[in-house]
Amino acid sequence: MSAEPLLSAEDLVAGYVPGLNVLEGCGLVLGDGELVGVIGPNGAGKSTLVKAMFGLLHIRRGTVRLRGEDVTGLPAHALVSRGIGYVPQRDNVFPTLTVEENLRMGTYLRPKAFAERVAAVEELFGVLGQRRRQKAGSMSGGERQMLGMGRALMMAPGVLLLDEPSAGLSPRYQDQVFERVRQINATGVAILMVEQNARRCLQICDRGYVLDQGRNAYTGTGTELLHDPKVIELYLGTLARAR
């Protein structure tokens, strides 16, 4: 990781209700080409963290920087234009639109780039090329997740924020999602992934952060956290120790 992080969050305090904070001063750094995971118990603030970083939630204190530039509080479309993509856990496709129309929505800021970008995205997600005319709402949950990621990649982002990409999917589709995340990262896209499947997340990420009650509890490489006795006991359970 370079001396200047690609993306960083420092001392973030944020919440949904006035006077009640979900984030209590947490932070992280993401370097060029890195795959970084964020895990923790339900209610720890994982999804809130990426929403705040992507301009979807007011930050009460703290700073978000992209390549050293202060982007704290910038709206989502301004961050997209600066090279950040985001895939929410829910409502990540337009169900009444076709696959192709969803992908076109991904280039709304640069519509002339559609032909070039759709070829690159369909190379990663072959199913999208086969289903261009299919309504997104008729696809399986796993296929919609692929479409959501594909749409976010249509602007050729340097950073991709993923909010629990495996949530609600069958084991088969979870495997596919994690494999696609690795493939996207291998193309040079830095990825920050919030994930409820902590064990699988740590298996593929370069580094990880454990959040608890809106604060950083542990950090380290994916391998270090995967084998840390305290992390196993508190966040991964006996199943992780057995494996």
Q: What is the pLDDT of residue 237?
A: 67
Are residues 56 and 73 in contact, defined by beta-carbon separation less than 8 angstroms? Answer: no
H or E element in which residue 162 lies: strand 159-163
Please state the pTM of the whole predicted model. Answer: 0.93
Is the C-alpha dihedral spanning 46, 211, 9, 196 positive or negative?
Answer: negative
- What pLDDT score does 240 carry? 42
Look at residue 102 in the predicted model and tell me its pLDDT.
Answer: 97
Domain 7-90+157-242, CATH class in plain words: alpha beta
- 122-175 pLDDT, tens per residue? 999 999 999 999 999 999 999 999 999 999 999 999 999 999 999 989 998 899
Is the pLDDT higher at 238 or at 65?
A: 65
| Domain extents in the chain | 7-90+157-242
Mean pLDDT of 25-49: 96
Angle (CA) 186 130 92, round 5° = 65
User: What's the pLDDT at 90?
Assistant: 84
Is the model's pLDDT at 241 over the cut of 60? no
Q: Which two tokens stand for residue 25?
A: 């001063």
Q: Evaluate if residue 13 carries a pLDDT over 80.
A: yes
Burial class (CB in 10 A: 0-12, 13-18, 19+), 126: exposed
- Residue 236 has a pLDDT of 84
Task: Output the pLDDT for position 12.
Answer: 98
**Averaged pLDDT of the chain:** 93
